[in-house]
Amino acid sequence: MSARISLVAAALLGFFAVALGAFGAHGLKSVLEPAMMQVWQTAVLYHLVHSVALLAVGIWHLQQPSVWLARAALMLLVGTLLFSGSLYLMALTGVRILGMITPLGGVSWLIGWSMLMVAGLKTTSQTGIQSDR
């Protein structure tokens, strides 16, 4: 994933995290049962956190192009869609089997964060230049 796409995706994810958080707080609070409201809030929290993480990766990628940063960005995006997306759908529909998708998003995030670690290790401390492309 390019730095430009990472930055645009981060902006879109951030926008929708705020919008869905507000929708949950104002539009769903009286509609959802408390357990499903908690599911919604968990989805929003992780959605917003990973939106900011993707923004940081996009900025880092602009400064130091790296295949590891591109891959990490993709995994953070996929993780958000799978994790938070499945929780949003589960909260709205009450179909709890959708929760089986959620761990796939979590694993995607773990892979993305691991790729960020690799990118950091491949960055030389004195020049800040990636040792790979």
Q: What is the pLDDT along the chain (133 residues), one digit of tens a residue?
A: 999 999 999 999 999 999 999 999 999 989 999 999 999 999 999 999 999 999 999 999 999 999 999 999 999 999 999 999 999 999 999 999 999 999 999 999 999 999 999 999 998 765 555 555 5
DSSP sequence for 91-119: HHH--GGGGGTHHHHHHHHHHHHHHHHHH
The residues with which 123 forms a beta bridge, in sequence order, are 130
d(CA 74, CA 80): 10
Q: What is the pLDDT of residue 53?
A: 98
| Residue for token pair 């998708």 | 101
d(CA 19, CA 112): 25
Q: What is the pLDDT of residue 29?
A: 87
d(CA 133, CA 131): 7
Domain boundary assignment for the chain: 3-122
Q: What is the pTM of this model?
A: 0.91
- Measuring CA to CA, how many Å separate 121 from each of 1, 9, 108? 20, 25, 20
